[in-house]
């Protein structure tokens, strides 16, 4: 779970940094996503704010609160954050795929968001399934 916890911290801080930079318009348009000036695409991007902030808040809370419990136990917010993070990555990839936009600088972070939670979620599901009679 060490990889997962480090990845969560990176993703959650990344969400907060991304939205700070985006909402304050600190990133020059030429470095932004394709069709940045299109109001529909901009609205679509901004529709991620609640999802990303929920993922970051639950993730950072799970990491902080998780230190207070035994290392072998998992804080209930952890799987919630992992699912929200994977969904954020999936939604972005699902949007850009049919548009044929494969900009690596946008795909890599979103594939990271989609994929890093999956092994940990599989382990958590397996633990839960095995623990039940």
The predicted structure's pLDDT at residue 67? 76
Q: How much is the pLDDT for 70?
A: 63
Neighbours of 79 (CB within 10 A): 18
pLDDT of 51 reads: 98
Ordered per-residue pLDDT tens for the chain, 133 residues: 689 999 999 999 999 999 999 999 998 888 888 888 899 999 999 999 999 999 999 999 999 998 777 666 778 999 999 999 999 999 999 999 998 888 899 899 999 999 999 999 999 999 877 755 6
pLDDT score of 42:
92
Query: Cα(20)–Cα(129) distance, rounded to whole angstroms?
Result: 39
Q: Count of domains in the chain?
A: 1
Q: Do 118 and 23 form a contact (C-beta atoms < 8 A)?
A: no
Looking at residue 133, its pLDDT comes to 60
- CA separation for the pair 119, 49 (Å, rounded): 25
Could you give the CA distance from residue 32 to residue 13 in angstroms, rounded to a whole number? 19
CB neighbourhood size of 130 (10 A): 7
Expressed as residue numbers, the domain containing 120 is: 2-131
pTM, rounded to two decimals: 0.90
Q: Quick one: pLDDT at residue 123?
A: 92
d(CA 98, CA 36): 17
Measured torsion, CA atoms of residues 9, 28, 86, 63, in degrees rounded to the nearest 10 = 10
């Amino acid at each position: 779970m060490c990889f997962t916890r480090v990845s969560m911290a990176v993703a959650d801080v990344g969400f907060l940094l991304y939205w700070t930079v985006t909402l304050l318009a600190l990133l020059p348009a030429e470095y932004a996503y394709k069709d940045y000036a299109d109001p529909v695409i901009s609205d679509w991007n901004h529709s991620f704010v609640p999802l990303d902030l929920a993922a970051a808040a639950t993730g950072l809370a799970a990491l902080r609160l998780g230190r207070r419990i035994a290392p072998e136990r998992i804080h209930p917010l952890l799987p919630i954050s992992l699912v929200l993070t994977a969904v954020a990555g999936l939604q972005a990839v699902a949007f850009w795929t049919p548009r044929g936009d494969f900009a690596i600088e946008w795909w890599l972070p979103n594939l990271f968001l989609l994929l890093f939670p999956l092994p940990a979620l599989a382990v958590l599901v397996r633990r839960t399934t095995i623990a039940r009679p």
